[in-house]
Structure 1
Amino acid sequence: MVRLLAILLTLLGLAAPLNAQESGRRIEYDRIAAAGLPDQRLTIWLPPGYDAGEHRYPVVYMHDGHNLFDVKNSNFNKIWAADGAMLAAVRTGKVEPHIIIGIWAPGKDRYRQYLPRSAYDLAPPALRAQMDAAAGGEVVSDRYLAWIAGPLKDWVDASFRTRPGRDDTAIIGSSMGGLMSCYAILERPEVFGRAGCVSSHWPAVDPRAVAGEDSGVRQMWDAWFAARLGAADGRRVWMDHGTATLDQYYAPYQQAIDAQFAAAGWQKGRDFESRVYEGAEHEENAWAARLPEIFGWLLAAD
């Protein structure tokens, strides 16, 4: 029975590869110093065949790297299974293998590292006070973005066989990491050509505390996107959310943001995608279930 199940899963493209040559290779880096930030940590995944050739690879940077590959490192005993999702996307023939740079979240400092600083600066006083309470310290996402786009990317491009251009550099995250990914492609469009903003936490704080129209959240995002989005210019952005648990609060914000993309001339289905997953919760299993689809659209070769 077990063998039959393995055969069925393989035919469906869902089974884990059988050995390291087929599954790629992971490398861990601990306690990386980054100016003005808590120490950072990386898990890097190299695609199958990387060690056997001279091919250069596009790169996808992913937040919450501890939740990407290995359950023993994860917060909630759930993972994105990002390596398996990449292999599944590659098997479709539409996506090239990518190197995955998993950047671990810095524990209690996650919120202040992922909250877009330029949006925070636009928040009205009452909303900013709630953000300050959640952050528990200075909002440092501008430094985090500068580190990823500068020293980290420079090191990755020097240390691995990458294709360093904008159109070969993606950034993906969920919840606050979704906000951070959107921040990256808006603030550094010359570096990041593709962004995955999964279950983005658009309320920014407890959604129940900012449910009213006078909270300033919608106005903050409206002003932020209006000032920074610009034309697509070859960029590609994936956005989505579920309808259960925390994701149940996101639809009104996402609909307004979709309208901002359309108003800026981005074409849905070509330049940006925005999808709703009925019944999906705000958690890693839900994100893992749709990650092959996210990779398949966002990272597809033009």
Structure 2
Amino acid sequence: MKTVVAAILILMFCIRGGEPIPEVSSGEIRRLSSFPSAFISSRNVDIWLPAGYTADKEYDVLYMHDGQMLFDDNITWNKQEWGVDEVASALMRDGEVRDFIVVGIWNGGSEYRTIEYFPQTPFESIEKVKQDSILSVFRSNEQFKLADKPMSDRYLKFLVKELKPHVDSTFSTNQGRENTFVAGSSYGGLISLYAICEYPEVFGGAACISTHWPGTFDTKNNPIPDVFLSYMREHLPDPATHKIYFDYGTATLDSLYPPIQQKADQIMKEKGFKKGKNWVTKKYEGAAHTETDWNARLAVPVTFLFGK
């Protein structure tokens, strides 16, 4: 009977949302279809619940960006996925991590993803003429668009003031900062770092995977990395109550990251973070900027955040 009810619910979600529900190998997906917001455009949110989820206990929560890429490569644009359900399920089954749910927030599409994920305060610290130059570079790029100034402050307000309260009131969650984490890759890595810096009272940890430090696609005469690093220096959260994970590969777009990440690591040290304790930076030789590569090492940041 439960199987029949679950099948009916999935069908209802599919019809209402207009997009197929990801198929997962373990646990289940609960979709918030076209979740409304006063701050950004409405969008789907896919919430993964581990096998055996019950309201009789409370679960930690991982908020992840680019939610449409997390669970099912049959419905992603590039036929790749993070494999979040497989990785999380295996770690929980083996007793490596605390039980948690995953809130996969869909990005707003090519017209919105960059402006929602690009940290706003650092961008606004750049002088106006250079801001305009950066915007013109993005507008000329067909794949990655920054059609207007960043609106990541609004995106984070949606996440903190609208989505999190709904998740906490609907599901059985541990609501404290020490049980609430955020993760993403590339621009998703940037917005994850920005989230823990802007809302240190909400997020106790962040996983910033293949963090796109250059902001654009060239490091030459590029002011963006320096303003990001300056922002870090001024806004990193308290290392006594927070933990941050970074990683990067050495192939494709990730090949731009090592020199900037080294500077970020120095700031982490200066601000009192202890490597291996409340901070990790890992280099993955030969790894590229793809979901397949991120899946291959996802267990590392997940264990760092949720490890017992």
TM-based fold match above 0.5:
yes
Change (3 A) 1:276 1:146: same
TM-score (norm 2): 0.86
1:1-302 matched pairs, under 5 angstroms: 23-51=26-54, 54-108=56-110, 109-133=112-136, 134=138, 135-207=146-218, 210-212=219-221, 215-301=222-308
Cα distance per residue 1:229-286 (max 9 Å; x no partner): 1431221111000000000000111000010010001001111100000000000000
Give the aligned partner of residue 10 of structure 2: none
Moved more, 198-207 or 25-34: 25-34
Query: In percent, how many aligned pairs have the same letter?
Result: 35
TM-score (norm 1): 0.87
**For 1:124 and 1:292, how far apart are their aligned partners in 2?**
40
- 1:23 deviates by 1.4
Change (3 A) 1:221 1:171: same
Give the aligned partner of residue 6 of structure 1: none
Q: Specify every segment of 5 or more residues in structure 2 that has no aligned partner in the other structure, as ranges.
A: 1-22, 139-145
**Are the aligned partners of 2:123 and 2:224 in contact in 1 as well (CA < 8 Å)?**
no
SS at 1:293 equivalent: helix
**For 2:100 and 2:133, how far apart are their aligned partners in 1?**
38
**For 1:26 and 1:43, how far apart are their aligned partners in 2?**
6
Q: Which has the higher helix share?
A: 1
Cα distance per residue 1:55-89 (max 9 Å; x no partner): 11000000000000012331211000101111122
- 1:227 deviates by 1.3
- 1:126 deviates by 4.9
**For 1:48 and 1:27, how far apart are their aligned partners in 2?**
13
SS at 1:50 equivalent: coil
**For 2:200 and 2:237, how far apart are their aligned partners in 1?**
10
**For 1:185 and 1:59, how far apart are their aligned partners in 2?**
14
SS at 1:61 equivalent: strand
**For 1:237 and 1:24, how far apart are their aligned partners in 2?**
27
SS at 1:73 equivalent: coil
Change (3 A) 1:126 1:206: farther
**For 1:130 and 1:95, how far apart are their aligned partners in 2?**
45
Give the aligned partner of residue 4 of structure 1: none
**Are the aligned partners of 2:40 and 2:158 in contact in 1 as well (CA < 8 Å)?**
no
* Alignment root-mean-square deviation, CA: 1.7
- 1:44 deviates by 0.6
SS at 2:96 equivalent: coil
**For 2:118 and 2:229, how far apart are their aligned partners in 1?**
16
Change (3 A) 1:187 1:240: same
**For 1:125 and 1:283, how far apart are their aligned partners in 2?**
33
**For 2:264 and 2:39, how far apart are their aligned partners in 1?**
31
**For 1:248 and 1:107, how far apart are their aligned partners in 2?**
25
**Are the aligned partners of 1:89 and 1:293 in contact in 2 as well (CA < 8 Å)?**
no
The AA in structure 1 aligned to 2:83 is: A
Moved more, 188-197 or 53-62: 53-62
Cα distance per residue 1:82-126 (max 9 Å; x no partner): 011111222342301211000011112100010011111122445
**For 1:247 and 1:175, how far apart are their aligned partners in 2?**
9
**For 1:187 and 1:118, how far apart are their aligned partners in 2?**
10
